A and B are shown apart, each in its own frame.
Chain A
Amino acid sequence: MIVETNKERLVKQAVMAEVNHPSASSGYRVDWDGVPRIGLGMSGVKYNVGVGDLCYFLENGEHTEPGLSITNSNPGESQALGVLGCIGNEVKLTSGEAKGEKGYITGKHGSFLCWFPPEAQEKICPGDKIKVKAWGVGLKIAGFEETVRVNKIDPELLEKMGVEVRGGKLHVPVAREYPCWIMGSGYGMFPVTIDYDIQTTCDLVWDEMELKDIRFGDVVCLRDQLNWWGRGYYKGAVTIGVVIHGWSYSAGHGPGVTTILSSKDDTIVPEIDPHANIAYYLGVKEKPK
């Protein structure tokens, strides 16, 4: 049975943002082991890295944001955007050469990350205005109103994720599972507005945890992690999230996860599917055979 939700009761509204510019620090960033590095990939318009691609790939990649990064420079409006925007929400360019083109939100880091068709992406410039059709805050799954917290996911994308109700449990396809202790920066913070990272700064576990296989857009399971009123340890809790940004060499950092579903117990049942990735669910990338 496909999930039923209260989506008809949720406010859908326009929120504005603009395409931002790549950022850089004024000196080297010192990595986890004391090596100075130049990190690339935060903000801006990317032509060769998008949702569905490998997170570990690009030289000097540091929190690489796939596709397009958008923000709102007005602090009050930015806060509203941060809370209201959800993964899977439709976005539309309202200025510039690609005006009228539509895409989707694929994650929330500091910036929101978006996918646009490649031909539109070629025409987009930093500064172009974007309208987000924000929809999803308050989303609940019928039968799981008290047991599963839903966060930052577009109701229609949730319906496409292969989530099934069976035997009173919510079965969710995930590409991979991670133990609580690998979770890093963003820990203890507010799930509604920020992601937290799968740490990639212990080279000793790169292989055993298959960290180089993570893809932007992967749906993943985090064990013993509760993302309800905040995020932290809770024995037996299950959290589902979407990988939104790339690798890092800064201590305690790595690919970020926006959390979308969380239960205190085994109400959420993860089921391994290597192709559990929002790029396929959104239909923006062809699923491998």
Chain B
Amino acid sequence: MVVKSNKDRLMKQALMGKVAPPVMAASGRSTYVTTWDGKPKIGIGVGGIKYNVKMGDPCLGWPETEYMTPGVALYGADEKAEFDRRSASGSGTAFTKLSCIGNRVTVVGGDAKGSTGVVTGKGGVGGTGRHVLSHFPKEVLDKLNIGDKVRVTSEGVGLKVEGFDGRLFNMDPSFLEAMEPKLDGDTLELPVAKEIPVLAMGMGVGGSSAESGGWCVQVSPPHLVEMLGLGDLRFGDLVACKDALMSYGKGYYKGAVTVGVVTTGESQVAGQGPSVMAIASSKRGKIKPRIDATANVAKYLELEG
């Protein structure tokens, strides 16, 4: 059965943001983060404009990177919040929580003024908690500058599928439809590239509600990556996390299923790794993952170049 949603009742509004600057993964005055096996690592890749890394590309194996944000990373235009990671309110927080995958992004200032792109995900862990990720065509990337103002046409918070025994998050209605979900009774069938057992889920557990933050898939030590076949994980992959509930928070729940998007890159810090942003979660396990190796945000958003 094709799903019936409440998309006609969702509020659509403008959010203001700007292209975020690159920042270092290490906190304080330290240059390095310490990896799971006790080695210093520089930790680049959070924020900024990536010319050669986008949704659909391999997630692991980029040297010295920690929590790399693919494509163009955006921040809320709230200057104060930019320097306060713990800021719990204000327009910067609204920018993060209300942006949804598939929302249109319009550049409203700078050399690329008038160009459009699309929201591809949100950061979550490792200093990426307030980043909204976006994709722009190559010719726009060349014109885009750090700090350029952008407008996100926000739509998606409150999205529901009639009859589904679970909750949806962080999706523009058009993105939900592009995945061609099916409803069987109260169970929603969604495509996923991989299934991930809860033992591989790391940092981010205990974190905030599904509208912001993420939950890491651990990619260290190497024997875990091998055991779970995570080596070919890609930015933008849809994954099903078993026994993991990402709803009013993030935690273990026996039998629960959460489907999310792999948004940020690897970490070699113990217990950390690519961040998963939830798009659907069911406490009673009423999500049926349909394995499809091509289930990736890049495909459903039809991203170019």
Q: A residues near B, CB below 8 A?
A: 30-34, 179-189, 197, 199, 201-202, 204-205, 224, 226, 228-235, 250-253
17 contacts between A and B (CB under 8 A): A30-B248, A30-B249, A34-B247, A179-B199, A181-B199, A181-B252, A184-B251, A188-B204, A188-B271, A201-B252, A202-B253, A204-B253, A230-B35, A232-B202, A251-B248, A251-B249, A251-B251
Which B residues lie within 8 Å of A231 (CB)?
A: 270-271
Partner of B38, one of A183, A229, A234: A229
CB closest residue in chain A, given B210? A251
Alpha-carbon separation in the docked complex, A31 to B271 (Å)? 24
Alpha-carbon separation in the docked complex, A199 to B201 (Å)? 13
Further contacts, 6 of them, CB under 8 A, given A232-B272, A251-B206:
A182-B252, A188-B202, A205-B254, A231-B270, A234-B221, A235-B224
Residue pair B269, A230 in contact (C-beta under 8 Å): yes
Alpha-carbon separation in the docked complex, A231 to B255 (Å)? 25
Is B151 in the interface zone, CB < 8 Å from A?
A: no
Residues of B146-185 contacting chain A, CB below 8 A: none
Is B250 in the interface zone, CB < 8 Å from A?
A: yes
Residue pair B254, A204 in contact (C-beta under 8 Å): yes
Whole-angstrom distance between the Cβ of B14 and the nearest chain A Cβ: 27
Alpha-carbon separation in the docked complex, A72 to B136 (Å)? 47
Alpha-carbon separation in the docked complex, A33 to B135 (Å)? 34
Residue pair A232, B271 in contact (C-beta under 8 Å): yes
Which B residues lie within 8 Å of A184 (CB)?
A: 205-206, 251-252
CB closest residue in chain B, given A250? B249
Q: A186-B206, A252-B205, A253-B206 are in contact. Are A32 and B249 (CB under 8 A)?
A: yes
Whole-angstrom distance between the Cβ of A192 and the nearest chain B Cβ: 11
Residue pair B271, A233 in contact (C-beta under 8 Å): yes
Whole-angstrom distance between the Cβ of A227 and the nearest chain B Cβ: 8
Alpha-carbon separation in the docked complex, A179 to B204 (Å)? 18
Partner of A187, one of B245, B249, B271, B283: B271
Which B residues lie within 8 Å of A188 (CB)?
A: 125, 202-204, 216, 218, 269-272
Which B residues lie within 8 Å of A179 (CB)?
A: 199
Whole-angstrom distance between the Cβ of B242 and the nearest chain A Cβ: 10
Which B residues lie within 8 Å of A186 (CB)?
A: 206
Residue pair B252, A232 in contact (C-beta under 8 Å): no
CB closest residue in chain B, given A185? B206
Residues of B190-246 contacting chain A, CB below 8 A: 197-207, 209, 216, 218, 220-221, 223-224, 227, 243, 245
Question: Which 6 pairs from chain A and chain B are nearest by CB?
Answer: A185-B206, A251-B249, A188-B203, A232-B271, A230-B270, A252-B251
Q: B residues near A, CB below 8 A?
A: 34-38, 125, 197-207, 209, 216, 218, 220-221, 223-224, 227, 243, 245, 247-255, 269-272, 283
Alpha-carbon separation in the docked complex, A180 to B227 (Å)? 16
Which B residues lie within 8 Å of A226 (CB)?
A: 36, 270
Residue pair B198, A229 in contact (C-beta under 8 Å): no
Which A residues lie within 8 Å of B227 (CB)?
A: 235
Residue pair A204, B255 in contact (C-beta under 8 Å): yes
Residue pair A228, B38 in contact (C-beta under 8 Å): yes
Residue pair A230, B271 in contact (C-beta under 8 Å): yes
Which B residues lie within 8 Å of A31 (CB)?
A: 248-249
Whole-angstrom distance between the Cβ of B28 and the nearest chain A Cβ: 9
CB closest residue in chain B, given A251? B249
Which B residues lie within 8 Å of A182 (CB)?
A: 252
Residue pair B218, A233 in contact (C-beta under 8 Å): yes
Which B residues lie within 8 Å of A181 (CB)?
A: 197-199, 201, 243, 252
CB closest residue in chain A, given B206? A185
Residue pair A202, B202 in contact (C-beta under 8 Å): no
Residue pair A32, B245 in contact (C-beta under 8 Å): yes
Whole-angstrom distance between the Cβ of B296 and the nearest chain A Cβ: 25
Which A residues lie within 8 Å of B247 (CB)?
A: 32, 34, 251
Whole-angstrom distance between the Cβ of B209 and the nearest chain A Cβ: 7
Alpha-carbon separation in the docked complex, A182 to B201 (Å)? 11
Whole-angstrom distance between the Cβ of B255 and the nearest chain A Cβ: 7
Whole-angstrom distance between the Cβ of B168 and the nearest chain A Cβ: 14
Alpha-carbon separation in the docked complex, A180 to B218 (Å)? 13
CB closest residue in chain B, given A180? B199
